[in-house]
Amino acid sequence: MARSSSVSKTPLRDPRVVLRAAAGILLAANLAAAVAAFHPFGGGADDLRRSREALRWQLSRARMRLAASQQLVAKVEKARSQSDKFLAQYFTDEGSTAAIILAELTEAAKQAGIRMGTAQCSLEPIEGSDTLQMLSAQVGFEGAYANLTKFIHLLDQSPRFLIIESLQAAAPQQQNGQLLNVTLKIDAFVKGVAK
């Protein structure tokens, strides 16, 4: 029976096994400490330098994108203010457009020495815009060729944004070609309130 008691002894109670296990645990702890000391998990000095340079490069790229975006914003603001100035200078308000354009045509005809006939005006929306419309005026004039060219020049110098869409000229038979009858289709632009 004495033999059976020595066989039933557990290996964990044996002091040699316990000392070997403790030595193995201390060896593993020493190896882990050596790995952490000689090659830190955050990287070595070279790794940190490379990481710092990469972050500096990313920062400089981000600053360049920010500067480009700021320039773009400045250009958009400048374009917006210039378009508002253009609209205020060359486009008329909705309520008074026909009267202003006809008064300007009458004054230019008087300065050029031609006679203005009847006028027909129509207001049409401009596709793609909620606030802009186009006023088309079809007006007849009578005068000598030199006076009519002066009239066209006066329209070209107008402070309004006027477009001569079409010009039809005819010489009546009874005047022996000294006077011309001219029909102009003139477009002007109107700014209104968004609908």
- Condensed to tens digits (0 to 9), the pLDDT of residues 140-170 reads 999 988 999 999 999 888 888 888 899 888 8
pLDDT in tens, 107-128: 999 999 999 988 888 888 888 8
Looking at the structure, tell me whether residues 105 and 32 fall in a common domain.
no
Highest mean pLDDT (candidates 5-9, 39-43, 104-108, 171-175): 104-108
Residue 60: pLDDT band (50, 70, 90) is: very high
Please determine, for residue 4, whether its predicted confidence score (pLDDT) is greater than 90.
no
Q: What is the pLDDT of residue 53?
A: 93
Residue 184 lies in a domain: yes
The mean pLDDT of the chain is 83
Query: Is the pTM of the predicted complex or chain greater than 0.75?
Result: no
Question: Do 188 and 160 touch, CB atoms closer than 8 A?
Answer: yes
Supply the CATH number for residue 170's domain.
3.30.70.60
Note whether residue 119 is domain-resident. yes
Same domain, 34 and 97: no
Would you say residue 60 lies in a domain? no
Please compute, for residue 174, the number of CA atoms within 13 A of its CA located in the half-sphere on the CB side: 0
Domain range for residue 159?
92-191
Q: Residue 130 pLDDT more than 60?
A: yes
Is 25 within the bounds of a domain?
yes
Q: Are residues 26 and 99 in the same domain?
A: no
Is the pLDDT at 195 greater than 50, yes or no?
yes
Q: How many domains does the chain have?
A: 2
Q: Is residue 124 part of a domain?
A: yes
